[in-house]
Every structure is written in structure tokens, then in C-alpha cells.
Amino acid sequence: MYGDEQSQEVHLNPITNKWDPDNSRKQRHVSLAIAYNILNYYNLTNDEKFLGEYGLEMLLDITKFWIDKSQPEGDTGKYSISNVMGPDEFHEDYPGQENKGLKNNAYTNIMVSWLFKKVSALIKSQPEDVIDNNLKRAKFTKNDLTKIDDIRHNLKLDFDGNILGQFEGYFDLKRLDFDKYRQQYGNISRMDRILKAHHDSPDNYQVAKQADALMPLFNIKEADFLDILADLGYPISNPNKFINDNIKYYIARTTHGSTLSRIVYSMLMLKVGETNTAWELFYEALTSDYYDIQGGTTAEGIHLGVMGATLNVVTSFFAGVDYRGNLLEITPNVPKQWQKIEFKMIFKGIHFEFEISANDLSITVDKDTAVIFDGKELPLTANQQITLTY
């Protein structure tokens, strides 16, 4: 690789046995995933050496890219990001257009705003020499600092009442008759291939391969997600209703053509109390390679991404150990199918051991620290197991 584009340009549709264009290179949000992992790694480890020598420079370079992609929307004071795709790979263009991508994808814009907010905070919190060295290496100017604060408050999103639009113009698309295609094909997970076999396109419909507009709720804490919406000028007056309405809206339009979709919606179903559906989606993802649910892919290689993601669901959502804050926050949701979850983890240099059952939670640490439990800070003493009932 020499820094040139590596995404494939065509892919085979096994229904038509023809090669279709592949525009996945427009999924610019992959750079946001890199930034997300850098920030997660730093929060988990407090690895100042990594951040100072490598991580911050990468974050600044990624930020510069998104400054360039964020263009003023006339004299409205708003910014738009165009010619992109979201995580939902069914939607590559608007109906009747070709190779122009989408405008104001919700996932992209929300995560850009989140990144800019995080970078601004890091620049204020890191030692001056570290900041100066990284700003110089990344050629990041004072003007760039001013721009990220302006952009992160003014990126556009699309709403229809209480529903967050997957991208600008999403609500103008046609509704899809899912039952019609289920009766004909049974498995409609790859609705894109089915529609193209009918000389149609998923670009014309409200249908998704996987989670997209709701992906930020998987990536970041709910409170942070709502803060970003408020920062962008879209405050949510009733968060519970907003989240419930949006999950209900989008799961009805999602075919789970990617096994990773089941992971995200498993967590989202857990969030709204649909524990049985959460378990079913998790189990389908967990066993997806074993049962080869995508029709022949297992022989060519297992999906490491979904394997890692199922482990994350176990520890972060079923065990409920959320590592995305300054302290671990614990909210167990142990499935009725399991008696107990046991695991270890290292957070900010402290070794934690967890035993979590349907009603009890035991924690052991090797250094004095604290966790958030039941909404309150709970002190922990080194080498003394504490057991809590919830």
C-alpha cells in the first residue's frame, strides 16, 4: 500500500451473477473509527506517551480532513458534509444520481462533532509542549482551532418530527414492502442484491443493511449523544421517547445484511427493555459463522469483527461494565439464559475482577479506586471483594 485508494470498485451480485459498482470508498467515516479507537485506548490506559508521540497527531490529521469536508451552507451559519456514505452500505447515492454520495449523513456528522469536541478538550488539558509539538507536526493552525469550535456547533442534521434522518432527503424515499420480498425470497438480508435483480435500487427506499443513524448510541454514552445533538442546535426534550421512537422506526427498516448490525441492535434493544429480542440478536451474531448464516462465507474466513463485538456486548452491555467515562459505570443486564458472568479487565492501570449474576455483583481491585453504581460513586479498597445486590 502506498497511500492510494484500496477499496474495491466492483463486487459480485450472486443473484444476477453480474458485477455491480462498489462505492464503499465514500465511507469516509472509517477515519472517525480510527479516532474513536485512539480516544478509547487513551481513556482505558492513560497512555500519555502514546498520545503525545502518536495519538494526538493522528487525531489532528483526521480533524483537518473533516474541517475540509465541512462546507458552509450558504449564509445560514450551518455546515454540510457531502459525497459520503454512512455505515449502511445499501445507500450509495440519491435516486437517479450516480457516484455523488449522500449529504449530511447523521452518523458522520454526529461523530465529527463528537471528535471536534474531544480534540478541543485534549488541546486544553495536555501539557503545552506536547500540544505545541503536535500542532506543528500536524500543521494544525490557530484558525483550525477556531473552525472546529464553529463547525461542531453547526453541522446540519435532518429531522422529521421526533425521528432523526439517516441523511438529508431520507424521508423523501419510498417505503419498501418487506413482506412482498420475504414471501418470494425468505431471507431478505441482502435486499440490495434482490432489488438490483429486479432492476431497482435500495437508493430509492427507506431500507438499511445495518445500523446507521443510531450507531452513535452504540459508540458513545447516551448523555454524550444527547449533548452533541444539543450542541448542534437540536435539543431533545424527552430523551426516552426520542430514543424509543427512533429505535422502533429504524429496526423496522433494517434487514441486518451485516452480522455487525445484530450487535448494535442487540444493545439498542437492551436499552429499551426488549431483553428477549436483545438476546436473540446477540445469539444470531455469536453463532453467525458457526451456522454460516451468510451462505458460504465461513469457508473463506470467519468474521473477527463480529467475534470481538460479541465479546464487547457481553462485558459492556450484559455485564454492564461501561468503560467510556473517567470511572467504570456498572449497570448489569445479565440474560436469563446465563447464571453468571465472570471476567477480568484492566482500566487505567487497575486490575478489576467481576462476578455478576442475576441479582448480585462482586468486584475485586488491586488498587484503591471507585466505580459508578446505581448512579453514585462507590469507593473500592484494594484486595477487598465487595458484593452488591441490584
Catalytic positions: 89
**Using N-to-C axis directions, what is the helix angle for 106-125 and 222-231, rounded to 10°?**
100
Contacts with 244 (C-beta within 8 Å, 6 or more apart), sequence order: 272
* DSSP reduced 3-state for 42: helix
Query: What is the DSSP code (8-state) at residue 318?
Result: I
> Please, are residues 253 and 212 in contact by the beta-carbon 8 Å criterion?
no
Judging by beta carbons within 10 Å of its beta carbon (0-12, 13-18, 19+), is residue 246 exposed, middle or buried? middle
> Please, are residues 203 and 143 in contact by the beta-carbon 8 Å criterion?
no
Residue corresponding to grid cell 417505503: 175
Q: 389: which strand partners? A: 360
Burial code of 59-71, b = ≥16 C-beta within 10 A, e = fewer? bbbbbbebbebbe
